[in-house]
A and B are shown apart, each in its own frame.
Chain A
Amino acid sequence: MSNKPVRVLVGKIGLDGHDRGAKVVAQALRDAGMEVIYTGLRQTPEQIVETALQEDVQVIGLSILSGAHMQLIPPVVEMLREQESSDIIVLIGGIIPRDDIAYLKEHGVAEVFTPGSSTVDIVNFIKNKLELN
């Protein structure tokens, strides 16, 4: 891995307004030396992918607590594939039922962090994953 800081997009996808977790994670990633682009609320899958490509990020972290993850997350992964950018790591944070976690991970999501997750674990996950790549 080069010494260039890791670039991460942190985004709120869908109409959900709960941004405490997204902001805490964004701040923790920044404190860990990463460059964070925070999108703010109400992003569509299209907007997320567009910003991610423009900003040339290695990681996309999406927060969603509204239950719309099954409709909104797969399109993100799909569009990344179409843009030949499947190397971008997609992480999800939020209230995601166990069965859905399995589905999302089978469909291109690298990891899902549910309530109670530690920001230290998220930072370490990103570092390990990038080293493996």
Chain B
Amino acid sequence: MSEQQKNSELAAAKEAWLEKVKKSLEKHPESKVFKTDSDYEIERVYDALDLESLDYREQLNWPGEYPYTRGIQPTMYRGRFWTMRQYAGFGSAEETNERFRYLLEQGQTGLSVAFDLPTQIGYDSDHPLARGEVGKVGVAIDSLADMEILMDQIPLDKVSTSMTINSPAAVLLAMYMAVAEKQGITMEQLNGTIQNDILKEYVARGTYIFPPRESMRIIVDIFAYAGKMIPNWNTISISGYHIREAGSTAVQEVAFTLGNAIAYVEAAVAAGLEVDQFAPRLSFFFNAHSNFFEEIAKFRAARRIWARLMKERFGAKNPRSMMLRFHTQTAGSTLTAQQPDVNLMRVAYQALSAVLGGTQSLHTNSRDEALALPSEQSVLLALRTQQVIGYEIGVTDTVDPLGGSYFIEKLTDQIESDILNYIDKIDEIGGAVEAIEKGFIQKEIQASAYRYQKEIESQERVVVGVNRFTISGEQPIDLLKMDPATSQRQVERLKEVRLSRNQAKVAETLQELRRVAQGSDNLMPAIFEAVKAYATLGEICGVLRDVFGEYQQQIMI
């Protein structure tokens, strides 16, 4: 029997089945219209007819083979688990160093540094705008002296370190390299990631400093410099995570991330870099939200689109340029302040979707993060959640276990097609930078965020403990208390550093940085020299602020 005959027989059989369903519906009507978070209407059931046009080699292929829909490595977690990497950092470099060493002892396999907001925005801890923020959402790093303490007794040749740093990424990377140099570790041995993704800061995360054009120059300089000097470093982590947290749908998350990625690749190519020189070091960062199957399909669709973009649009030849490698974090915005222990369940399912979606690295949120920074006990439970998924429940025993599922494949196709539509729209506007300057991306995210909130308030979307199954008179749980003296100690150390260094050397390196910034040479060597002379983050960013100017946010509601 031919394929076609088979399918028409199947279609006829389905018609007969649907007749039966009609009767059943009369007795037991379905409760609502079912939709994914991106608003796809979900069918009652999926079957072979949905995959009629599926071409296995073309759309899926084996893991480790183009277009990598099923995963980027041939053996995936059978060879090695994802990196269990908890984002951590608070207070001083000493306190964070202690938490890092604790996490490594507990079996964590990589570090992820959270910096405080003054550090992320290029202000020293004694800057007036740093008031109240020093050491709050992350660790305060003012100079190389702090980075030396942060990485004390941590073997930088064995541990990979991810740093969530964007506008001042070049400075923090230079500090990390300087510490490695002091530890006697060669640059080839360094493994890690800087987030370095400015475009999403303008639309979703807010820690921008410089205007887009100047920011793009810094990023491309880092690509070029790191490609030569620290070949195993991920020079950027192009992030959908924060776009999703800001309220986008799953489709928008990937579409806007890939739109930004295209802008970075184009900028680097325009600056004269060969695509296969820098593209293998591009990495990504996505959100694992609550709509389980849609999230899995999203990760698979993202891999397929990126592979084709790199090959077809940018002419990449090196397969590593086509592989979308990504870190995942569970969705902070889904955590509830009410009945916070319930968050453990949310995080576990979200983490499972990331693993079933083939992530390379994972952060699981802690149950108390809608209330405060996580306590050590909560962070441990979050890490244990990953270990249960990896070691106990067998979901890693075969690669892409949901591949071929009628529903998952159909959803992967739908998501892919809608992401491509968005990418076309961004291209029409003139690329991601233009789309951001015109406010297109911001408006799209905002509309989705508002819709989501309205759905919760109308109870169309159930949030357990918030709009259903609520309890009153909840018992408070123990939260992390910050040491209020941290900020003062940090400011004192900063003063000591400023007094004890060679001032002439600092002035000279900052002057050289200014000269380079005004011209077009690569900024990194000058930043590296300034860092090694113990110029502070605020001083270095101050020079760049002078030369490049500052970004002014467009306000729209």
What does the 1/0 interface line of B124-145 toward A look like (CB < 8 Å)?
Answer: 0000111111001100000000
Residues of A within 8 A of B336 (CB): 115-116
Q: B372 on the interface (CB 8 Å rule)?
A: yes
CB distance A67 to B333 under 8 Å? no
Complex Cα spacing A14 to B457, Å: 29
Specify the chain A residue showing the minimal Cβ separation from B554. A40
CB distance A114 to B337 under 8 Å? yes
Q: B168 on the interface (CB 8 Å rule)?
A: no
Complex Cα spacing A42 to B128, Å: 12
B206, B247, B371: the one contacting A95 at CB < 8 Å is B371
**Given A15-B117, A67-B482, A119-B457, A95 contacting B136 (CB threshold 8 A):** no
CB distance A14 to B132 under 8 Å? yes
Stretch in contact with the other chain, from A20-28, A53-61, A77-85, A125-133: A20-28
Q: A124 on the interface (CB 8 Å rule)?
A: no
**What is the size, in residues, of chain B's interface with A at 8 Å between Cβ atoms?**
45
Specify the chain B residue showing the minimal Cβ separation from A116. B466
Complex Cα spacing A68 to B117, Å: 10
B118, B247, B373, B465: the one contacting A15 at CB < 8 Å is B118
CB distance A38 to B555 under 8 Å? yes
Residues of B within 8 A of A36 (CB): 557
5 A-B pairs with C-beta separation under 8 A: A23-B446, A24-B453, A39-B555, A115-B337, A116-B337
Q: Which residues of A are in contact with B by a Cβ distance under 8 Å? A: 14-20, 23-24, 26-28, 30, 36, 38-42, 44, 66-72, 95, 97-98, 114-116, 118-120
Q: B479 on the interface (CB 8 Å rule)?
A: yes
Residues of B362-409 contacting chain A, CB below 8 A: 369-373
Complex Cα spacing A29 to B465, Å: 25
A17, A28, A95: the one contacting B370 at CB < 8 Å is A95
**Given A41-B206, A116-B338, A30 contacting B557 (CB threshold 8 A):** yes
Main secondary structure of the interface of B (DSSP, over half): loop
Task: Give chain B nearest CB distance to A55 CB in angstroms.
Answer: 14
CB distance B372 to A97 under 8 Å? yes
CB distance A116 to B370 under 8 Å? yes
CB distance A68 to B136 under 8 Å? yes
Q: B263 on the interface (CB 8 Å rule)?
A: no
Q: Which residues of B are in contact with A by a Cβ distance under 8 Å? A: 117-118, 120-121, 128-133, 136-137, 201, 205-207, 245-247, 333, 335-338, 369-373, 446, 449-450, 453, 456-457, 463, 465-467, 476, 479, 482, 553, 555, 557
Complex Cα spacing A121 to B555, Å: 25
Residues of B within 8 A of A24 (CB): 247, 449-450, 453
Residues of B within 8 A of A26 (CB): 557
Residues of A within 8 A of B456 (CB): 118
CB distance B370 to A66 under 8 Å? no
Complex Cα spacing A36 to B556, Å: 11
Residues of A within 8 A of B369 (CB): 95
Complex Cα spacing A16 to B132, Å: 11
List the 7 shortest-distance A-B pairs measured between CB atoms, nearest first.
A17-B206, A71-B132, A68-B132, A15-B117, A67-B136, A40-B555, A115-B370
Complex Cα spacing A72 to B479, Å: 21
**Given A17-B201, A41-B206, A71-B132, A115 contacting B335 (CB threshold 8 A):** yes
Specify the chain B residue showing the minimal Cβ separation from A70. B132
CB distance B553 to A41 under 8 Å? yes
Residues of A within 8 A of B553 (CB): 40-42
**Given A24-B247, A116-B338, A42 contacting B132 (CB threshold 8 A):** no
Complex Cα spacing A69 to B482, Å: 13
Complex Cα spacing A19 to B332, Å: 14
CB distance B557 to A38 under 8 Å? yes
Complex Cα spacing A126 to B305, Å: 47
Complex Cα spacing A105 to B133, Å: 21
Complex Cα spacing A44 to B463, Å: 34
Specify the chain A residue showing the minimal Cβ separation from B120. A15
CB distance A66 to B206 under 8 Å? no
CB distance B247 to A20 under 8 Å? yes
**Given A41-B553, A116-B370, A14 contacting B117 (CB threshold 8 A):** yes
CB distance B338 to A20 under 8 Å? no
Complex Cα spacing A44 to B450, Å: 26
CB distance B137 to A120 under 8 Å? no
CB distance B338 to A97 under 8 Å? no
Residues of A within 8 A of B467 (CB): 118
Task: Give chain B nearest CB distance to A11 CB in angstroms.
Answer: 11
**Given A26-B557, A41-B553, A66-B137, A98 contacting B476 (CB threshold 8 A):** yes
CB distance A16 to B117 under 8 Å? yes
Complex Cα spacing A70 to B250, Å: 35
